[in-house]
Amino acid sequence: MQLGLIGLGKMGGNMRERIRRGGHEVIGYDLNPKVSDVKSLAELVQKLEAPRVVWTMVAAGEITRQTIAQLADLLEPGDLVIDGGNSRFTDDFENEKLLKAKGIGYMDCGVSGGIWGLQNGYGLMVGGTNANVKRGMPIFDALRPEGPRDEGFVHAGSVGAGHYTKMVHNGIEYGLMAAYAEGFELLERKDIVKNVAGAFKAWSRGTVVRSWLLDLMVEALDKNPTLEGVSDYTVDSGEGKWTVEEAIALDVPMPVISASLFARFASRQETSPTMQAVAALRGGFGGHQVMTIEEGDALRRANGSKAPAAKKAAKKAPAKKAAAKKAGG
């Protein structure tokens, strides 16, 4: 099968390679000429045989909308567009409407797998008609993990359902990551626990909390047991926000995912206005000390230095031994 693929970044580039390994022809376009197979969207469309299938893998939002609007002018009736980016599901309704007016089909596909998808395959969540899904199935089969189709692919429903399902997937991901992270901090804080990295590794087989995310945590701790030097500033793709918005709209209680999203917001604040207000209130009703920012920072540093000095020293010892061993050849 022949496919036009727009967007050859970290995921798109690997997807092109995996599809090609599956025996299909992929013509890729990217703004970076070093990785692009063609010089323009127009040339991409010209090189594809009708009826064409074009997959967009670019940043969600305005860039995706502009790309699909351009494709609406370049493609012909009977062609098919698949949006595999992290678009908001409501954008799918508008994209379908725009393309349908010109006789062009549309599907949305939530894609999970990150930079490991080339090796492991991608989890795919698709929204669209049965006919369009059948038409795209050779590409979906090339991208998904090996094994039963329904363990790596789902036709989730009509247009928008694929991105909606991926949105919820990412919301769950937020909660899982936050739970592992909170467990890490608690283990780090307790002085009787000497091998936090080992604890996470021991969970990776035979326990109910084992997962690929846990494997990634183990890998991170193998490289940096205390995560020293890693910034706590955490961004979000927007899908966590959309998940919480949908929970509110549909009256679905979602305390875990909501808390994990708000934790990311908190990570970006150098100073928390919320906690400044709490400190001021404590001073108002109880006469508690209201510290300056400098005094608070000094206290924070002091409390941080108390966190298991012996534990930190114990963790440095193996690192020194490893360094000495490496230096000795």
Q: Which bin fits 25, alpha (ψ -120 to 50), beta or left (φ > 0)?
A: beta
> Residue 94, Cβ neighbours under 10 Å: how many?
12
pLDDT for residue 306: 57
- Give residue 325's pLDDT: 38
Task: Give 3-state DSSP helix, strand, coil % of the chain, rounded to 5.
Answer: 55, 10, 30
DSSP assignment of 42-108 equals: HHHHHHSPSSPEEEE-S-TTHHHHHHHHHHHHH--TT-EEEE-S---HHHHHHHHHHHHTTT-EEEE
Give per-10-residue mean pLDDT for the chain (329 aa): 96 97 97 96 97 96 96 98 96 98 98 92 98 98 97 98 97 94 95 96 96 94 92 87 95 95 88 81 81 83 63 49 40
Q: For residue 274, what pLDDT is reported?
A: 78
Residue 321: its pLDDT value, please? 41
Q: Which residues are designated catalytic?
A: 166, 173
The answer to whether 123 and 96 have CB atoms below 8 angstroms apart is no
Domain borders along the chain are 2-159, 160-268, 273-329
What pLDDT was estimated at residue 311? 55
pLDDT of residue 298: 86
pLDDT of residue 284: 83
d(CA 311, CA 307): 8
Considering the segment(s) 160-268 as one domain, its CATH architecture is Orthogonal Bundle (1.10)
In words, the CATH class of domain 2-159 is alpha beta
